[in-house]
Amino acid sequence: MFKVVGVGVALVARVAFADPYPEEVVDRPIVLNPGMTQVDANEEFTSTTNGALRNRQFSLGADHAFGPIEIDAFLGYNATLGVAYATGAIPGAVYFNATTGAPQSNDTLFESQSIGVLHKAILVPRAFALRLDAGVALAENRATDQTWTHVLEPNASVNAEAQLAPFVAAIFGLAAGVPVEHSGANVYSSVLNLGGSLMVTVDNDWDFYAHAGYDNVTRSFKYPYIGVGVARRFGR
C-alpha cells in the first residue's frame, strides 16, 4: 500500500534484536529477543450476517524466541501454529503459519496455510513506525461430501504505530487480499479490512490493549469487531 523511500539503508545497519527490549511499541523488533516468552489473552466480539457484534470469542496466544526464530501458537475460533525468522536485514522477518478449524459434526473442516515477509521501518525513533506485511494464503474447505475446495489469495497490510507517550501507543492498520485462483462453485471477491488499537504498557512487561475495526469495508454488509486483551512478557 505504502512505499517507504529512504529508510532501507539505515534499517540494514540495525541489529536484529533490541537490547534491552524497548518499552515503546514503535521501537520493538518484529521478533522477540532470544529467550523471551509472551503470552496473550483476548476477548473479542465479532459480527456475521446474522448481526453485528453478536459473537463472543475468547482466545489465547503464546510466543517464544529461540535465537532468531520465534514460535507462535494461537487458540481461538481456529488454532494456528506459526514460525518467524528474524533476518536482521530487509525484509526484517519471514514467516509461515498453519491454521485449522475444529472438525464439525457434519464432517466439514477449514484449513489454511500462509507464507510471507514482514518489515518494520522506524521512521522516527520512539515516535513513529510503519510495519509492513506481504504474503500469500491458501485456504481450504472440506464439504459434507468429503470434497475439498480452495482459494489462493495474495495479501498485504500496513500498520502505522504512533507513540503517544513512553507507555501509550496507538496503532492503525489497513489490510487487503485479492483472490487469484479457486476451485468449486463459490465466488470469491477482494477484501479490505480496517482497524485500530490503543495499547498501554506497564513496567515494560505488561501490555493492556483495546482494539476495534471493520472487516470487508468495501462490501454492502460490513463486519465490525471490538475487543480487549492483555499480554505478559517474560525473560526480557
Dmax over Cα atoms in the chain, in whole Å? 55
pLDDT of res. 49: 77
pTM: 0.85
In the prediction, which pLDDT does 19 show?
64
Instruction: Give residues with Cβ within 8 angstroms of 187, minimum separation 6.
Output: none
Residue-wise pLDDT for 12-48, tens only, equals 333 445 568 999 999 999 999 999 999 999 999 998 8
pLDDT of residue 196: 97
Measure CA 34 to chain center. 20
% of the chain exceeding 90 in pLDDT: 75
Segment (H or E) for 40: strand 37-48
Residue found by looking up cell 485462483 in the block? 181
Pairing of strands 109-124, 93-100: antiparallel
CA 159 vs. chain centroid, Å, equals 10
Residue 98 is given by DSSP the state E
Give the integer Cα–Cα distance in Å for 139 and 145.
Answer: 18
Residue 6 pLDDT: 36
Q: Give the integer Cα–Cα distance in Å for 113 and 99.
A: 6
The parts of the chain modelled with pLDDT lower than 50 are: 1-16
Asked if the bond preceding 22 is cis, omega within 30° of 0, the reply is no
Q: What is the pLDDT of residue 12?
A: 30
Domain ranges of the chain: 8-234
Which phi and psi angles does 51 have, rounded to 5°?
155, 160
State the cell numbers at 94: 519471514
Best CATH choice for the domain 8-234 from the list 3.40.50.12780, 3.40.50.2300, 2.40.128.130, 3.55.10.10 = 2.40.128.130
Cell of 15: 541489529
